Structure 1
Amino acid sequence: MSLTEVPGTPTPEPSPGPDPSTAEAPPNRPQRRPSPLAALLVRLHFYAGILVAPFLVVAALTGLAYTVTPQLDRVLYGDQLTVATVGEQARPLAEQIVAAQAAHPDGSLVTVSPGTGDRTTQVVFALPELGDRQHTVYVDPYTGEVKGQLTTWFGSTPATTWLDDLHRNLHLGEFGRHYSEIAASWLWVLALGGIILWWRRRSAGRSRVKHLLVPDLTTGRGVRRTRGWHATLGVWLAVGLLGLSATGLTWSRFAGENFAAGLTALDAGRPALSTSLTGAPATGGGDHQHGGAPSAAADPATFDRVLAAARNAGLGGPVEISPGEAGDAWAVGQTDNTWPVGRDRVAVDPDTGAVTARSDFADWPLLAKLSALGIQAHMGLLFGPVNQILLAAIAVGLLCVVVWGYRMWWQRRPTRADRRALVGAPPARGALRNVPWWALLLGVPVVAALGWALPWFGVTLLGFLVIDVVLGFVARRRAGRSAPASS
């Protein structure tokens, strides 16, 4: 499968210098023979690292750019998002909505987010020609002055939306989402596999725990030192990488659908909020819902009544009001995504101001809570600037790990005049044939289940196996043909 693997010839070794695997063994200590499972993991880690790393690089670079979106929004859209002077008393919501409708007479009113602190009030309108985008009008809550208008995507500014699309799909629509799903599907495999391999390599030494977390700087130059930096940084990043992989998969196209179906089957999804005033069961309420249905006839005066009822029900901080259809309750939900988050929701009868239903974040199932918190952490919102810094550090660290991985591949290249190659040879074949039967009996169903739950992991893994088998078959045939000629 490697471009440098020559069928029918022995696996070349780096030269000059001793073989790295034997050079690291302590004096007078026999080199431990790798187990079939370890050899198989080495080969899988090698191929996945070489072939999936480009997807990880793109995800890391685009994710790194996304981490600065809060500051970027302040720079580009500060006049719309914030007010210069915080007043003592906000104007009635009805007055602010009328001002927004005067500035934007077209479209249907979808949601209203009352301004708090230095934040402007956001009045959102839907237009058929915008698709899943909306027009958001920003109003100074203390003066009622319209500060501007932007085309948004569920509250995100144009710059944030552009960077979000770049990270999720490279601006290629549904087709582009495959790249990020492949990256998320393999990231956890590479992280866990790397930790296992590094633990096995360091377990022979007395300072194994130390050298798991700190590179051994006493080693000479070359592949051993590069591997030390590659592995120890990977261990430091492991928790963050596993978290990004898990939360990224919940948003992905195919694995995300399976995840949502699993939550539904376990009755562990985000509870629905009933807005029916007739006792009908609640509908919707999934983890990825945004906003509400367009309401062309919402009376601006009703927003003040509904907001007052929600505040009296204990919903503090920033909230979003979604008017319902005629005869339905209106939904009011907290939108504070910074720890400790505010995600409680209530349904309010717009005529009487009575709270007809509520859903508190504290009562959500554990998986629903973890999913919601994980998504906010993935977006850099959960812990504010600290969260952004951590994500940026993980992205830069992942780029370093990938670069060091490719550098090892290059450092292991044969350098003898009769065996020169651009890069190193892959690990030897045959590991799968030597795996114990009991490991196959347990492992094959597990891998098959993972391949079903994470389709892009299953498809690419199958592709690796097919290509490897074909190349092995071709290599054996060539070796067979060349044997008579050399005898």
Structure 2
Amino acid sequence: MGVDDQLVRSAVIGDEESERSPNRMSGWRVLRPLVLRLHFYAGVFVAPFLVVAAVTGLMYVYTPQIDALLYEHELHVRDSPVSRSLTDQVAVATAARPGDTVTLVRPAPTGTDTTQVVFEAPDLSASYTRTAFVDPHTAELRGVLETYGSGGALPVRAWVDNLHRGLHLGDAGRLYSELAASWLWVVALGGVALWLSQRRKKNRLRSLLLPERGATGRRRLVSRHGSAGLWISAGLLFLSATGLTWSTFAGENITSLRSALSWDTPAVSTELGGAEGPSGAGAPGADIGFDGALASARSYGLAGSVEITPPETADQAYTVKQNGRQLPSRQDALAVDPGSGEVVDAQRFADYPFVAKLARWGIDAHMGVLFGLPNQLLLTALMLGFLWVVYCGYRLWWTRRPRQDGERRGGAPPRRGSWRRVPGRVLAPLILGAVFVAYFLPLLGASLLAFLCVDGILGTRARRRALNEEVEGAAS
């Protein structure tokens, strides 16, 4: 058998069990080989997707600083005691884009920021908008950029976002990130279980949290891989859970589950309830404009950075919503009657269902904006730690390869057929649980099934080769 065949056999197939023990094991001892093989599979085959997600995610974390540097002219102005009305600012932006439709206005939150006027345009792709940046003091147009998503990501951030989300391959590319997020929690939990079971006998906290002193070779790699993995495991579980909310298939299931349990993020109602139009004090069709809507919101207590959505029809209200993402979260929203300036509906973040709050905080922390710079540094440490764990894991896999003499100095790889040792009373709930998880995480289920099929095919080939070698040896 050639070296390449031996590598494939050791890395993918594993050693066949020569015989099945009549004494069935119980508890963790019977599950450990199964968890080890699953961790092995995920580590070898899914880790590349996880590494891509980690590197591109780390790039995204620092896009606010990149935006501030590259788009300084569009984003910032000199402060001045004189300010122009929002009406004037929107008029300047509209004159620059006469064929586009204003869908959102973000008034300058401070004296050194620009006002952002967001347009929909027929020549833009889905989820893309066009944003005009206007000096709030002089009403000077500072520039117009294509932006992405509800948050108005600037071009660099939009490019990195699409790289992280789908490698710029469209909907098909998004499957890679969903596959990574679907397997990340499996890898993390499996690794923690294996590490804790291995170190339980020593009963020392240091042996769990820090690499083993004086260890060399493979033992040192195992120690580094396990201790570092334990430190970052909670963060990996968090990234997996929050990442799945953006995914294609699992994300839809999560959204449906939240809706069924009434955990949706609430929104204000913009319906005025009258077909004849707004109920202002003036003539029918009177409109207080963006300035009036902002004044009403400020008087109602909406502070900080806000965005104003104009009514689409005569029987709808302005929506004024806070868009501050850092703690304390400012996500209050109001509906303002365009005729009278009266607040007709309000939604406070404090009144959100707890799960909706948790989702908001989780997404913002995933993006690195919830705690500002400390959030970015924490994600950086988490991603660097993860890359180190993956490196150690691949080194461990490489040490298992058979040498020219057929010896495996790193020990035998996880053995195939471990599931046959699991008692039916344990295996049946495991199968049911796997089916349940696969239903909510379809890519996890599909890839796991693919692993099993490939493993079975390669195992059959390995048995046939071994049989042929025995026959040839006996004939010679």
State the TM-score, normalized to the length of structure 1: 0.87
Match of residue 185 from structure 1: 182
Match of residue 326 from structure 2: 338
Aligned with 2:101 (options 95, 108, 114): 108
Is 1:59 aligned with 2:53?
Answer: yes
Aligned with 1:270 (options 255, 262, 265): 265
* Deviation digits for residues 195-222 of structure 1 (CA, Å, limit 9, x no counterpart): 1000011011131x22211111221x21
* Deviation digits for residues 18-61 of structure 1 (CA, Å, limit 9, x no counterpart): xxxxxxxxxxxxxxx97120010001100110000100111111
Match of residue 134 from structure 1: 129
Give 1:393-412 correspondences, 5 Å limit: 393-412=381-400
Q: Which amino acid aligns with 1:5?
A: R
Distance of aligned partners of 1:109 and 1:101 in 2 relative to their CA distance in 1, 3 Å threshold:
same
Match of residue 242 from structure 1: 237
Instruction: Using the TM superposition, give the Cα deviation of residue 256 of structure 1 relative to its aligned residue in structure 2, in angstroms.
Output: 0.3
Higher alpha-carbon deviation: 125-134 or 337-346: 125-134
Match of residue 23 from structure 1: none
* Deviation digits for residues 343-370 of structure 1 (CA, Å, limit 9, x no counterpart): 0111111111011111111111111111
Is 1:164 aligned with 2:161?
Answer: yes
Separation in 2, partners of 1:299, 1:52? 59
Instruction: Using the TM superposition, give the Cα deviation of residue 422 of structure 1 relative to its aligned residue in structure 2, in angstroms.
Output: 11
Alignment check: 8 A CA contact 1:2 1:426 kept? no
Match of residue 380 from structure 1: 368
Is 1:313 aligned with 2:300?
Answer: yes
Separation in 2, partners of 1:359, 1:317? 16
* Deviation digits for residues 282-315 of structure 1 (CA, Å, limit 9, x no counterpart): xxxxxxxxxxxxxxxx999611111111112211
Distance of aligned partners of 1:213 and 1:2 in 2 relative to their CA distance in 1, 3 Å threshold:
farther
Separation in 2, partners of 1:267, 1:137? 37
SS of the residue corresponding to residue 443 of structure 2 reads: helix
Give 1:30-429 correspondences, 5 Å limit: 35-83=29-77, 85-117=78-110, 118-131=112-125, 132-154=127-149, 155-207=152-204, 209-219=205-215, 221-278=216-273, 302-325=289-312, 326-415=314-403, 417-419=404-406, 426-429=413-416
Separation in 2, partners of 1:128, 1:195? 51
Instruction: Using the TM superposition, give the Cα deviation of residue 428 of structure 1 relative to its aligned residue in structure 2, in angstroms.
Output: 1.1
Separation in 2, partners of 1:44, 1:6? 15
User: How many residue pairs end up in the alignment?
Assistant: 446
Separation in 1, partners of 2:131, 2:303? 23
Separation in 1, partners of 2:260, 2:353? 13
Separation in 2, partners of 1:89, 1:213? 58
Instruction: Using the TM superposition, give the Cα deviation of residue 105 of structure 1 relative to its aligned residue in structure 2, in angstroms.
Output: 2.3
Instruction: Using the TM superposition, give the Cα deviation of residue 476 of structure 1 relative to its aligned residue in structure 2, in angstroms.
Output: 2.9
Alignment check: 8 A CA contact 1:94 1:301 kept? no
Distance of aligned partners of 1:341 and 1:260 in 2 relative to their CA distance in 1, 3 Å threshold:
same
Aligned with 2:8 (options 4, 8, 25): 4
Distance of aligned partners of 1:424 and 1:112 in 2 relative to their CA distance in 1, 3 Å threshold:
farther
Instruction: Using the TM superposition, give the Cα deviation of residue 10 of structure 1 relative to its aligned residue in structure 2, in angstroms.
Output: 9.4
SS of the residue corresponding to residue 315 of structure 2 reads: coil
* Deviation digits for residues 159-193 of structure 1 (CA, Å, limit 9, x no counterpart): 00000000000000001001000100001111111
Separation in 1, partners of 2:307, 2:28? 58
Distance of aligned partners of 1:424 and 1:252 in 2 relative to their CA distance in 1, 3 Å threshold:
farther
SS of the residue corresponding to residue 181 of structure 1 reads: helix
Q: Which amino acid aligns with 1:309?
A: S
Percent sequence identity over aligned pairs: 47
Alignment check: 8 A CA contact 1:115 1:122 kept? yes
Instruction: Using the TM superposition, give the Cα deviation of residue 388 of structure 1 relative to its aligned residue in structure 2, in angstroms.
Output: 1.0
State the TM-score, normalized to the length of structure 2: 0.89
Q: Which amino acid aligns with 1:74?
A: A
Match of residue 283 from structure 1: none
Alignment check: 8 A CA contact 2:181 2:239 kept? yes
Q: Which amino acid aligns with 1:255?
A: A
Instruction: Using the TM superposition, give the Cα deviation of residue 467 of structure 1 relative to its aligned residue in structure 2, in angstroms.
Output: 1.4
Alignment check: 8 A CA contact 1:4 1:425 kept? no
SS of the residue corresponding to residue 95 of structure 2 reads: helix
SS of the residue corresponding to residue 352 of structure 1 reads: coil
Separation in 1, partners of 2:202, 2:409? 33
Higher alpha-carbon deviation: 418-427 or 311-320: 418-427
Q: Which amino acid aligns with 1:166?
A: L
Alignment check: 8 A CA contact 1:213 1:236 kept? yes
Instruction: Using the TM superposition, give the Cα deviation of residue 430 of structure 1 relative to its aligned residue in structure 2, in angstroms.
Output: 2.1
Q: Which amino acid aligns with 1:136?
A: T
Alignment check: 8 A CA contact 2:58 2:380 kept? yes
Match of residue 445 from structure 2: 458
Separation in 2, partners of 1:179, 1:261? 22
Distance of aligned partners of 1:319 and 1:199 in 2 relative to their CA distance in 1, 3 Å threshold:
same
Q: Please report the RMSD computed on the Cα atoms of aligned residues, expressed in angstroms.
A: 2.5
SS of the residue corresponding to residue 102 of structure 1 reads: helix
SS of the residue corresponding to residue 130 of structure 1 reads: coil
Alignment check: 8 A CA contact 1:112 1:321 kept? yes
Higher alpha-carbon deviation: 472-481 or 137-146: 472-481
* Deviation digits for residues 128-168 of structure 1 (CA, Å, limit 9, x no counterpart): 11133111111111222221111111311000000000000
Separation in 1, partners of 2:437, 2:99? 48
Match of residue 295 from structure 1: none
Match of residue 19 from structure 1: none
* Deviation digits for residues 437-479 of structure 1 (CA, Å, limit 9, x no counterpart): 1111211111101001001100011111111122223333333
Instruction: Using the TM superposition, give the Cα deviation of residue 484 of structure 1 relative to its aligned residue in structure 2, in angstroms.
Output: 4.6
Alignment check: 8 A CA contact 2:174 2:247 kept? yes
Separation in 1, partners of 2:225, 2:434? 27
